[in-house]
Structure 1
């Protein structure tokens, strides 16, 4: 596939809950605590206990923490979402939409950890399929989880890079895959949808364990609805979103309660030992200290004053003469708390369905779903005479104000709707170019694999 396979050959990370990454004022993300345990993939799938441990390793440890970083903070900086407040040349490239092919963050986090997740998921899927000794229900559950993780990883890689090498076979075959060319994005998307549909069949609607730390059928359906939306398959996006909404398994709590680890809105969250999220650790700051990240002024000022999301999910700290508008969704920065890294929230289903319905001309239904999100935020309903074009822009704005700072939603939304030129180009006219909607293929990967072509503009 690519040369990252040579770095960790034939292992699965299997520590269940390791410490979080924290960002120091002037340094990059650092993983705290002991490294994960390595388990040889040939042996791990012989018993339920060790197989479960291996799958837990897909969710946790250094790989997942860095995957969250690559999927959240970097795309957030590429958009009009979050900005980094200290000196870091690699981060400045994201903020200026002027990435280079030697950007260390692109290669060492976004590319590397995305493919590490895929490699480990492939190993797990192969081991599970080969195993004849696992309890059938356990095997089904674990297969569903591994396919979800693989789909999630490819979802971010294809959105950020476009065509990328695709592998569905275990790590033992890495030598044959080391010089693989890039696979067309349409093929990657088809595999994402296949994996999620298969995950639906494998996974139960109930959760294994506590705190929704392992995906269930509703999580697979949520990501599948998103995949259909991104591919403009409006009917299927609506259908899949409706399946979760009508299941009545989740509710929309008040914004103040949305991000605790017992939130009724959470569909999937990534647990940790301290109850301090990666997001809280990086978005909050000690009193009198500049936060690592803050919101763009334009985003902060796009809230209505009465919006409960502004009241509960943002804050302002004044350092010298500068106001820093920080993200306050997660309330705990250090020590211990009751917050995990939330991966999927129920609110997204209403906005997916709203957009899908609007695109199909179902304006009454689309407005009703958008108004559910607005009502939770304490806002008035949209106009009953709203046009399709106005409604789509209103949904875009709701997504911006709902998901700021989370999993790169804003950047991916602007890309998939072809709105990046108008929005980002208008805010960053000196550095923006249309080709910046895709990140560069890392130069070191292209040196190791001569079959990897480069994206336009790099």
Structure 2
């Protein structure tokens, strides 16, 4: 097994991930437990336990694309150019509670929760693992659970909080929704524990497994979302003070060797979901492009924002202009790109926003200017008020994170700016659209689930 693991890491990871998979039919109903032998075998040796945890990374790849595309359409940073009726519901902010994409996303996220719960349970009960290996694997699993719940609570609001293994709770029929504040408490607890257990040094190559800085970086985001400005600044500072990271030019910062990467999920051929989806041949319209308004919002005088130059590509098809997203450059074959989950630019902008909200305007400006300098732009005016600076930070986040992992959607929601920004450009916009519906299929299976406002019918 060890030889196979070393030579075929992804095949081993996929197999190991399947050890923990249980039925997906009802994602918050707890089915029959895995056998005692299976759990003991999976976590008996360092190699087998490592393979199980690597399986969590593999199973998480699919969620990166779907959460990006669905939330991007719901916001204003992705334009949908195809005709799938279910996807048009996201683009038109007219989601039905029967939307199959919403149901599948809920299911895949909760399947990952179940797998991480089982992994954490197996790791904690194991008495045969090397202590340092056990701590690291626990840190990785708790990071993955926190990351998954962060998306669940931001997409759906109050969600069932399932943190026990199948073996521990198989006799429970179903779970009700947990208030978002309690979900965030669990997220913070998981990340704090992960931060304490994970090493600073990366395991393996290409920063494809989380380390201590990755946990700190995600904690910074969580505290930002909770308006805990002091802790958001503190966590971001931890990462920004690390010497491993930097801000390479916008021509190369999405490669898998970029020192901007804090954490990325590997793939077999160096081609990402994003490159394959956003980039098409000359006369083919990409399914998702940057909307005209977002493209035209980049600065062009006295210099052109290099993000506009390097991360977008105008193309005309049948006389209509589209703006392809070219952050990732490779769309097929083999390449040198992985799915970047955390990168340093976010930490600068987290700290900038936290500092601005703490009225440290000069410190906030310094952090924003680091991002603007990388983009070839002049620094912000020193005369900006707090409100003006926060608006500038929002714009920088749009320009930095468009088409990436739902950042824009979550930013508009957490700052209560969604209605102000989206209602003028979205004909069907309602304030309740800031949450996706709880899938009706799940409510039919679980009488303890209730529907989000605006989706009752």
TM-score by length of 1: 0.91
Q: Secondary structure at the match of 1:92?
A: helix
Question: Pick from 74, 77, 89: which aligns with 1:93?
Answer: 89
CA contact (8 A) 1:123 1:170 kept: yes
Is 2:450 the counterpart of 1:453? yes
Question: Pick from 351, 354, 374: which aligns with 1:353?
Answer: 351
**1:38 to partner: Cα distance:** 2.7
2:24 match: none
CA contact (8 A) 2:61 2:265 kept: no
1:400 match: 398
1:431 match: 428
**1:137 to partner: Cα distance:** 0.7
Greater CA deviation, 443-452 or 70-79? Answer: 70-79
Question: Pick from 213, 218, 222: which aligns with 2:213?
Answer: 218
- Residue by residue over 1:153-184, the C-alpha shift from the partner in whole angstroms, topping out at 9 and shown as x without a partner, is 00000000000000111123454444211000
CA contact (8 A) 1:279 1:330 kept: yes
**1:36 to partner: Cα distance:** 7.7
1:363 match: 361
Alpha-carbon RMSD: 1.3
Question: Pick from 63, 66, 79: which aligns with 1:67?
Answer: 63
- State the alpha-carbon separation in 2 of the partners of residues 174 and 271 from structure 1: 33
CA contact (8 A) 1:284 1:292 kept: no
CA contact (8 A) 1:266 1:345 kept: yes
Is 2:318 the counterpart of 1:320? yes
- Residue by residue over 1:188-211, the C-alpha shift from the partner in whole angstroms, topping out at 9 and shown as x without a partner, is 000000100000011001000000
**1:237 to partner: Cα distance:** 0.2
CA contact (8 A) 1:266 1:342 kept: yes
- State the alpha-carbon separation in 1 of the partners of residues 381 and 153 from structure 2: 36
Distance 1:36 1:310, change over 3 A: farther
CA contact (8 A) 2:40 2:126 kept: no
Is 2:390 the counterpart of 1:387? no
1:31 match: none
Structure 2 regions of 5+ residues with no counterpart?
1-7, 20-37
- Residue by residue over 1:243-265, the C-alpha shift from the partner in whole angstroms, topping out at 9 and shown as x without a partner, is 11012220000000110010010
CA contact (8 A) 2:16 2:52 kept: no
- Residue by residue over 1:103-125, the C-alpha shift from the partner in whole angstroms, topping out at 9 and shown as x without a partner, is 000011x2111111111110010
Q: Secondary structure at the match of 1:344?
A: strand
Q: How does 1:146-295 map to 2 (within 5 A)?
A: 146-173=141-168, 175-295=170-290
- State the alpha-carbon separation in 1 of the partners of residues 221 and 335 from structure 2: 30
- State the alpha-carbon separation in 2 of the partners of residues 115 and 301 from structure 1: 38
- State the alpha-carbon separation in 1 of the partners of residues 153 and 40 from structure 2: 30
TM-score by length of 2: 0.91
Question: Pick from 109, 130, 141: which aligns with 1:135?
Answer: 130
- Residue by residue over 1:112-162, the C-alpha shift from the partner in whole angstroms, topping out at 9 and shown as x without a partner, is 111111111100100000000001110010000000000000000000000
CA contact (8 A) 1:285 1:292 kept: no
Q: How does 1:71-86 map to 2 (within 5 A)?
A: 71-86=67-82
CA contact (8 A) 2:265 2:339 kept: yes
- Residue by residue over 1:203-249, the C-alpha shift from the partner in whole angstroms, topping out at 9 and shown as x without a partner, is 00100000000000000000000000000000000000001101222
Distance 1:119 1:16, change over 3 A: farther
- State the alpha-carbon separation in 2 of the partners of residues 41 and 378 from structure 1: 53
CA contact (8 A) 1:143 1:199 kept: yes
- State the alpha-carbon separation in 1 of the partners of residues 84 and 181 from structure 2: 35
- State the alpha-carbon separation in 1 of the partners of residues 370 and 224 from structure 2: 19
1:114 match: 109
- Residue by residue over 1:373-396, the C-alpha shift from the partner in whole angstroms, topping out at 9 and shown as x without a partner, is 001001111011000000000000
The aligned length equals: 425
CA contact (8 A) 2:260 2:345 kept: yes
- Residue by residue over 1:381-416, the C-alpha shift from the partner in whole angstroms, topping out at 9 and shown as x without a partner, is 101100000000000000000000000000000000
1:23 match: none
Structure 1 regions of 5+ residues with no counterpart?
1-14, 19-33
- State the alpha-carbon separation in 2 of the partners of residues 92 and 35 from structure 1: 35
Question: Pick from 31, 38, 55: which aligns with 2:18?
Answer: 38
**1:444 to partner: Cα distance:** 0.6
Q: Secondary structure at the match of 1:452?
A: coil
